[in-house]
Structure 1
Amino acid sequence: MRATLALLALVSTQALAISLGLILPDSNVWTSLTFTITVPPPPPPSVTTGPWFFWAGIQPPGGVVQPVLQWGEAPSAGWVNNDALFPHIWQMVDWAVPAADKNNDVSATTQGIWADEGAQILNTVTFANGQWSQTSTVVSGGGFGYSVSETVTATQYFDVDGATNSDANFFVIESELYGQQIGDWNFDVTFTDISLTAETTDGVSALCEGATSHSDGNGYISISGGSISPDGLTCYWDSMVLSPP
């Protein structure tokens, strides 16, 4: 990925983003994220430049750990199912984008999974024992059964010292569109069964209950079905939908 917009802009092409960020107090951190993304229709035929990314992830200091549904950028390691018989339009790739000057400024990326329109992809991000792990698995539709995963060491990729906890208090869900035809975005991207877990209860209830549908001029995010786990550590939402302006 070029870079998360919340971190830095490394490209000259225009970018369009609708996003939601949930930032815990400094005394608390996020430790895991689970969500399912439904593969949308393809970009309109008029769109010939990109790439376009739709993702949710957790941001350790200086970087981000993010399963990404993407169009218009091929993963460096290729694909796990490049012989898939449906059109090769959307692919799921797990990214760990490092902080500046970490890991030689090189992101860790998995192979891509081609997934057909309407397919559902289950994604998990977790922190444990000083490492970030993520997995993406197609659980229905074209691409069913294919999976990718990766694990990176926090101290190698992010601005952390010792990594006794995730040191990551920032959750983001976002559209991130580059190219000359970003105004042609014309479809919804739906995230469902979202769960986001923190290390302690500090700030969780107020933050998650305060997440609301909104527009920032670059699109809309519609949020439904929010709740908190009985132990106060985990936020749940039935869905978050990213829509064009």
Structure 2
Amino acid sequence: MVSLCALVVFSADVSHIPPGEKNFLLLQWQTTLMDRFYSRKSKVKAKTKSTKESKVERADSLRNAPLRDYCEWKSVSCVHGKVVRVDRTDRHDEVMDIHLLPPTVGDIHLTSCSLDYALHTRALPRALKYCYVNGNRLHGSVGLRTLPEHLVRLNLSRNRLVGPVDLTELPRKLRTLDLWDNRIRQYVVFFGQLPPNLIYVEFHLIGGGNRIGELRGTSTENAKKLGKLFPGISLKHIHIE
């Protein structure tokens, strides 16, 4: 739904809109996304007439309220009025769905925040370069073939993610990938030509959540270097074809 909204906004013809109004519309859209990102967690309870009315009243009040300036928040960094970074640690009262963040966000630091939803890498901000969401409750499969193309560092460790893991189309600028202490059970993990500046892909570090059998793929790297790129995986379990 969010992606569809973004598509509608950017596909509309805004050439006839004065610059001031255009900037306001973009700010309004960014604020709407951030409002949803920082929405409070609520306990599930039966819907009654009073709760429905309160939701309507709250929606009306939000609609009539002035736009919140998230660039003034300590946990948010902006450049020229555009949100580029969000940073939270050990917060458990907000949803903080990273799929709702504006596409301008390039830096996400949300560690130990009880993020509890399925991860969809295709819906991550396209400008994303650094993403640290370790120590949460993210679940579902790890879609490594649909990561943002500019991604440099990705830390998904200490979550509840499962396979299949596919390393055949990693972003070319990727340097580090942390997947340790998840719930990945996979006999064979395939890889292709790895990013030129890749430092490591970590399946095992602390905790024994993952179970990886062997790695198979095509690469110009020698076996010794591959052993360094995949720490914790024995060389006898890394095969170049």
Q: Considering the TM-score relative to the shorter chain, is it more than 0.5? A: no
Q: More strand per residue: 1 or 2?
A: 1
TM-score when normalising by structure 2: 0.26
TM-score when normalising by structure 1: 0.26
Q: More helix per residue: 1 or 2?
A: 2
Larger-gyration structure (1/2): 2
Higher relative contact order (CA 8 A, sep 6+): 1
